[in-house]
């Protein structure tokens, strides 16, 4: 692979920045100064140092973010609202990381961000039935009948939701687990039983569980084991 491609894929430098740095003698490959951006390198084996910093090559990255209130699940927003990728280091944004799926602006909690389009597509495909759990609070007490209806499936604007589980922790709060991801699904499900969501936080996504050590707005790379579980 070309040196400039390697550095741009892992978010270290654009092609023009690599050109400039190479001409200035600021890149070394296995200890030797590399003056040509089109130098052929083996990204897995060669030791590339860019402006004094060793480069760790990886094509794909996988991040767990604890989404705070008010952020849009996108890489940019036309209306000027903050987006979840604003919370990441520039290196990841340069690598083309995007949110895998959406949470509403006021929903909190677990978001997966990656630049692995194939995995993201697979996890979001309706036929994958990836389970997602949300801690919720509602304005009015939920009756047993409401819970039964929610679990069996309710009509949300012409679509009947698939069976799900609801674990009530108190009259007005609990954990709901769904295996699909329609737009505003949980809000609409609660509206279908004449209630209203007042708090919504995603706590699991497939095999991932929100890391309690992550403060709102904080993120970390997934562990090798978490990536392996996601890839199934
Ligand atoms: N369901 C909702 O209503 N909102 C979310 O953000 C996620 C699921």
The strand pairing partners of 202, in sequence order, are 109, 134
Residue of the CA atom closest to atom 7 of ligand 1 = 103
CATH number, domain 62-126+208-231, options 3.30.70.260, 3.40.50.300, 3.40.630.30, 3.30.70.580: 3.30.70.580
Closest residue (by CA) to atom 4 of ligand 1?
184
Calculate the CA 104 to chain-centre distance.
13
Pairs from 171-174 (Cβ < 8 Å, separation ≥ 24): 171/141, 171/142, 172/137, 172/138, 172/139, 172/140, 172/141, 172/142, 173/135, 173/136, 173/137, 173/138, 173/199, 174/135, 174/136, 174/142
- pLDDT, residue 78, reads 84
- For residue 203, the CA-to-ligand 1 centroid distance in Å is 12
Q: What is the pLDDT along the chain (232 residues), one digit of tens a residue?
A: 999 999 998 889 999 999 999 999 999 999 999 999 999 999 989 999 999 999 999 899 999 999 999 999 999 988 889 999 999 999 899 999 999 999 999 999 999 999 999 999 999 999 999 999 999 999 999 999 999 999 999 999 999 999 999 999 999 999 999 999 999 999 999 999 999 999 999 999 999 999 999 999 999 999 999 999 999 8
| Cβ contacts of 126 within 8 Å, gap of 6 or more | 180
Distance 221 CA to ligand 1 centre (A): 24
Question: Which tokens in the block code for residue 177?
Answer: 């687990």
User: Do 162 and 178 touch, CB atoms closer than 8 A?
Assistant: yes
Q: Is the CB of 200 under 6 A from ligand 1?
A: yes
Ligand 1 touching residue 15 (CB < 6 A): no
Q: Looking at residue 18, what is its pLDDT?
A: 97
C-beta 185 within 6 A of ligand 1: yes
Active site (annotated) includes residue 116: no
Count of alpha carbons within 13 Å of 132, Cβ hemisphere only? 27
The best mutation among 200, 201, 203, 204 to test binding of ligand 1, ranked by most ligand atoms within 8 Å of the C-beta, falls on 200
Ligand 1 within 6 A of CB of 114:
no
Centre of ligand 1 from the C-alpha of residue 88, in Å? 22
CA distances from 151 to 128, 141, 205, 214 (A): 19, 16, 19, 31
Atom of ligand 1 nearest to the CA of 197: 3
Q: Is the CB of 112 under 6 A from ligand 1?
A: no
Q: Where are the domains of the chain?
A: 3-54, 62-126+208-231, 131-205
The angle that helices 224-231 and 117-124 make with each other, rounded to 10 degrees, is: 60
Task: Quote the DSSP letter at residue 168.
Answer: E
Catalytic residue among 46, 77, 86, 104: 104
pLDDT for 37: 97
Could you identify the residue written with the tokens 């403060």? Answer: 215
Q: How far apart are CA 53 and CA 32, in angstroms?
A: 14
CATH dotted code for 3-54 = 3.10.290.10
Domains 3-54 and 62-126+208-231 share a fold: no
Dist CA 167 CA 173 (whole Å) = 9
Q: How far is the CA of 181 from the centre of ligand 1 (A)?
A: 8
Q: 136 CA distance to ligand 1 centroid (A)?
A: 10
Which CATH code is given to the segment(s) 131-205?
3.30.70.1560
Furthest-apart CA atoms within the chain: distance in Å: 72
- Structure confidence at residue 38 (pLDDT): 96
């Amino acid at each position: 692979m070309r040196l400039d491609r390697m550095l741009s894929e892992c978010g270290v430098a654009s092609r023009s920045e690599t050109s400039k740095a190479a001409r200035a003698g600021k890149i070394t490959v296995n200890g030797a100064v590399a003056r040509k951006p089109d130098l052929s390198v083996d990204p897995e084996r060669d030791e590339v140092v860019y402006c004094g910093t060793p480069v760790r090559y990886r094509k794909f990255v996988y991040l767990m973010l604890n989404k705070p209130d008010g952020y849009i699940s996108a890489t940019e927003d036309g209306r000027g609202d903050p987006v979840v990728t604003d919370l990441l280091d520039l290196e990841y944004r340069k690598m083309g990381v995007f949110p895998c799926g959406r949470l509403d602006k006021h929903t909190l909690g677990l978001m997966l961000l990656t630049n692995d389009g194939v995995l993201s597509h697979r996890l979001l495909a309706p036929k994958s039935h990836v389970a997602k759990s949300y801690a919720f609070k509602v304005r009015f007490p939920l009756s047993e009948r409401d819970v039964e209806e929610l679990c069996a499936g309710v009509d949300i604007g012409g679509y009947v939701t698939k069976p799900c589980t609801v674990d009530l922790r108190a009259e007005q709060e609990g954990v709901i687990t769904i295996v699909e991801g329609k737009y505003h699904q949980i809000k609409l499900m609660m509206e279908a039983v004449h209630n209203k969501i007042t708090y919504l936080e995603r706590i699991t996504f497939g095999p991932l569980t929100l890391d309690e050590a992550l403060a709102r707005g904080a993120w970390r790379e997934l562990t090798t084991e978490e990536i392996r579980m996601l890839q199934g």
